Amino acid sequence: MDDMLAAVLYAKWDPKPEYKPTPKDIEGKLTYLGGLVWRYPELRVERRPIPKIKEDEVLIKVKACGICGSDIHMYESDKDGYILYPGLTAFPCVLGHEFSGEIVKVGEKAYNQWGEKFEVGTPVTAEEMVWCGYCRHCRDGYPNHCINLQEIGFSRDGAFAEYIAVPARVVWEITEIVERYGEKKGYEAGALVEPTSVAYNGIFERGGGFRPGAYVVVFGAGPIGLAGIALSKAAGAAKVIAVEIAEARQKLAKEMGADVVIDPTKIDSVSGKILEVTHGEGADMYVEAAGAFPKTWPAIEETIWNGEKVNAKVVAIGRAVTHVPLQFEVLQVRRAQVFGAQGHSGHGIFPSVINLMASGKIDMTKIVTHRFKLEDAAEALKFASKQKSNIGKVLIKP
């Protein structure tokens, strides 16, 4: 068989008047400003040639791929037909970047982290961010900020497909996860390594983590927030407080280990409730995984100011193009810090998350609420778009 089934997003290149090309934009093909350019998105499930691999790549037979909020935002459009996703995009493109699968073909120079050639039959997952390895940011150890970054499922073909070609340098073995959970559940866990690694990067790499016994507040109980809850509990947080408005995700937050779940719509003050359950101290770390800064930042700032703790950390993982007022006096007097977090690559993040899953310290498969066949990918995205906060993780399984 030379072809495969794949879910491909098509869109029309039709820049808005305010669009100003970046130096790396390619007319009619690629832009770093997706929401200003791409119009009338359409997802088609079609047959395509199986990818040809380069000498440093592996071909992976996809076993499971999660639907991310980014996938939904590329599929959705505003009243004028422009996609909602603002970033790096190149269409047509096979969507999907949270995936796992089995290696079926290995390039001549496709080596694993130990300098050995990958083997056919190895269960793997992969980073979504394809960093170049030679630009200044990569050389300085910041692959998440690669100048020549390409992204699986955004600017190069992704894993809403039967097969995907991936550079070996971003591929990680998940044999121990599959052995622990069995093949079906193991590959589902493998598809959750990527979003879990996003939370890990924010909390531990960018934010520097916290001491065991700390209080942690997580705003937003979507997949990233749920991962943040699980990771915080595994790292020894004495109390994890989740702030979430959707009832379905409140239940998932408890399932993942949240000690307290706050519904902002049912109380007068989120800050007051956090202070109440932390005995007036406030938290050691606040994780913003909601991307709702105009609502979450005032609550965080108020809690830091009125709490007894100093040296609190705020980690911004949620994404939103919004501006919020910030009172520097609060940060200065309370010795607080704010950290911006992007991506999941480098710093031992993927292997650490894989080890946590394989050891049973975290079980992210609990957040999977729906599964669709690859041929139903369009219906799956439509469902995820409509349901959003009423669901956990939706998987597409070829």
The tokens of 43 are what? 């997802």
Mean pLDDT, the chain, rounded, equals 96
Task: Evaluate if residue 363 carries a pLDDT over 80.
Answer: yes
Residue 251, judged by CB atoms within 10 A of its CB (0-12, 13-18, 19+), counts as: middle
Output the pLDDT for position 322.
83
Query: Strand 285-288 relative to strand 215-219: parallel, antiparallel, unpaired?
Result: parallel
Q: What percent of the chain has pLDDT over 70?
A: 100
Going from N- to C-terminal start, the domains of the chain cover 3-191+363-397, 199-340
Instruction: Give CA–CA dist 327/205, Å, rounded.
Output: 25
SS3 readout for 247-304? HHHHHHHHHCCCCEEECHHHCCCHHHHHHHHCCCCCCCEEEECCCCHHHHHHHHHHHH
- Rounded to whole angstroms, how far apart are CA atoms 230 and 252? 11
pLDDT of residue 63: 98
- Region 6-10: mean pLDDT is 98
CA 16 to chain centre: 28
> 70, 155, 197, 271: which is the annotated catalytic residue?
70
Supply the pLDDT for residue 390.
83
Which overall architecture, per CATH, does domain 3-191+363-397 show?
Alpha-Beta Complex (3.90)
| CA–CA distance, 73 with 83 (Å, rounded to integer) | 7
Whether the per-residue pLDDT at 33 is higher than 90: the answer is yes
Range with top average pLDDT, 192-206, 319-333, 381-395: 192-206
Residue 319 has pLDDT above 90, yes or no: no
Give the CATH number of domain 199-340. Answer: 3.40.50.720
pLDDT digits (tens, 9 = 90+) for 278-293: 999 999 999 999 999 9
For residue 81, count other CB atoms closer than 10 A to its CB: 13
Closest residue by Cα to residue 198 from 66, 59, 334, 45: 66
Determine whether 73 is an active site residue.
yes
- Residue 208: alpha-carbon gap to chain centroid: 19
The strand pairing partners of 9, in sequence order, are 43, 93
Pairwise CA distance, residues 74 & 164, whole Å = 20
**70 an active-site residue?**
yes
Residue 388 confidence (pLDDT) above 90: no
- pLDDT tens, residue by residue, 73-91: 999 999 999 999 999 999 9
- The stretch 142-167 carries a mean pLDDT of 97
What pLDDT score does 212 carry? 98
- Measured distance CA(362)–CA(319) in Å, rounded: 25
Q: Inform me whether the pLDDT recorded for 204 exceeds 80.
A: yes
The reported pTM is: 0.95
